[in-house]
Amino acid sequence: MAEHRHKRDTEARRKPRAATVAAPLALLATAGAVTIGVLASTPVTSGSILAKDAADISSVAPHDSAGSSVSRAESRVAATQLEKAHERRHRMVVTRSAIRNADTRLWASTDLNLWTGSGKDAKQAGELEAGKRVLVTGRKADDRIEVVIDGESRWVTAGYLSDEKPVAAAAGLSMAQCPDPGVESGLTSNAVYVYRSVCHAFPQITSYGGWDGHGEHSSGRALDIMTSDVTLGNAIADFLRSHASELNLYDVIWRGQIWTSVRSGEGWRSYGDHGSATANHYDHVHVATN
């Protein structure tokens, strides 16, 4: 009897154990079925997984301030480029209008460099010869005036265009003595040659500055040809430049502009402001020899 009871008790104890094992299995089966159903009803691709991953990363990752800054910087660059394009177009329209409406013609009183614009970044685009008559638009900027050359806008240094045809300088040089030989005192032979040539080519000049104790004059190589007449002064400056090689010239300075033989290809250049009309050579043409 004892053995029989023991057998029944053992079987009784086994039944709950089987139920305990069956329950988790059933749960796993149910979960598996639910998962299979979900997967079957929602197609999954690698793209959707990557997109989800990217979304998850962006929601968790810190904000990329550098990327945002780059985007803003690119926007500013694009806006700046667009603004510059509008400015260029506006300048083109204004320039075409100025050329179309130009109706004034002036004479070039000296050789002038032609520039593509009025600013410092303008490029040289040839030369306007003295004695040439040119169409002027009337626009001025940065000490330059706009002219029309072959239908194109060009700019020249202001102050050298005249209503009247420039005085023609006398051709040739001379070593004949001048009415005032005292000017030659202290001058080198090259400077004397300049003085006598100018004296005979431009007899209307009656005042000169020769040797003195400052600058190039102290060496006896320089001469000041006194005149405030722009047309006459331009003619004298052109005469000197045209004979620079024969006269062995070093430089010519006139009305805030300087020309030098070593940089003759650049034409007239700015001499700068030296404080007065005389220092800036507005009342005389300065010439020096080598």
Mean pLDDT for the stretch of residues 211-225: 95
Task: Please tell me the number of Cα atoms within 13 Å of 48 on its side-chain side.
Answer: 4
Q: What is the pLDDT of residues 118-159, one digit of tens each?
A: 998 999 999 998 888 999 999 999 899 999 999 999 999 998
Geometric angle at alpha carbon 274, from 269 and 277, rounded to 5°: 95
pLDDT at 268 exceeding the cut of 50: yes
Separation of alpha carbons 115 and 260, rounded Å:
19
Residue 250's pLDDT band (boundaries 50, 70, 90)? very high
Would you state the pLDDT for residue 31? Answer: 45
pLDDT band at 45 (very low <50, low <70, confident <90, very high): very low
- Assess whether 186 and 274 both reside in one domain: yes
CATH of the domain at 250: 3.30.1380
Mean pLDDT of 28-49: 43
| Position 238 in a domain | yes
- Whole-number pLDDT of residue 259: 97
Give the model's pLDDT for residue 277: 95
Residue 206 and residue 137 share a domain: no
Q: Does residue 276 sit within a domain?
A: yes
Instruction: Give a yes or no: residue 256 inside a domain.
Output: yes
158 and 185 share one domain: no
Spell out the residues 6+ positions from residue 178 whose beta carbon is closer than 8 angstroms to its own. Answer: 195, 196, 199, 200
Average pLDDT score over residue span 159-175: 77
Residues shown for the chain: 290
Q: Is the pTM of this model over 0.75?
A: no
Contacts for 71 with CB less than 8 Å, ≥ 6 apart: none
- The whole-angstrom separation of Cα 206 and Cα 144 is 32
Q: What is the pLDDT of residue 25?
A: 44
Both 201 and 120 in one domain: the answer is no
Please, what is the average pLDDT of the chain? Answer: 80
Residue 187 belongs to what domain range?
181-289
- Which CATH number fits the domain that encloses residue 102? 2.30.30.40
Count how many domains the chain has: 2
* 154 and 193 fall within a common domain: no
| Identity of residue 97 | S
SS in 3 state form for the chain?
Answer: CHHHHHHHHHHHHHHHHHHHHHHHHHHHHHHHHHHHHHHHHCCCCHHHHHHHHHHHHHHHCCCCHHHHHHHHHHHHHHHHHHHHHHHHHHHHHHHHHHHHHCCEEEEECCCEEEECCCCCCCCEEEEECCCCEEEEEEEEECCEEEEEECCEEEEEECCCEECCCCCCCCCCCCCCCCCCHHHHCCCCHHHHHHHHHHHHHCCCCCCEECCCCCHHHHHCCEEEEECCCHHHHHHHHHHHHHCHHHHCEEEEEECCEEEEHHHHHHCCEECCCCCCCCCCCCCEEEEEEC
pLDDT one-digit tens code per residue, 58-95: 444 444 455 566 677 788 888 888 888 888 888 789 88
Q: Which of 193, 170, 195 is nearest to 286 (CA)?
A: 195
> What is the average pLDDT across 172-201?
94
Confidence (pLDDT) at 169: 54
Name the phi and psi angles at 228, rounded to 5: -110, 0
The rounded Cα 101 to chain-centroid distance in angstroms is 28
- pLDDT tens for 91-112 read 789 889 989 999 999 998 778 9
CA 286 to each of CA 29, 48, 215, 252: distance values in angstroms, whole numbers, following the listed order: 111, 85, 11, 6
Residues 201 and 103 in one domain: no
In a domain, 5, yes or no: no
**Residue 221 maps to a domain:** yes
Residue from 193, 243, 183 nearest 217 by CA: 183
Read off the pLDDT of residues 20-37 as tens digits, 9 standing for 90 and up.
Answer: 444 444 444 444 444 444
Do 112 and 197 reside in the same domain of the chain? no
Contact predicate 164/172, CB 8 Å: no
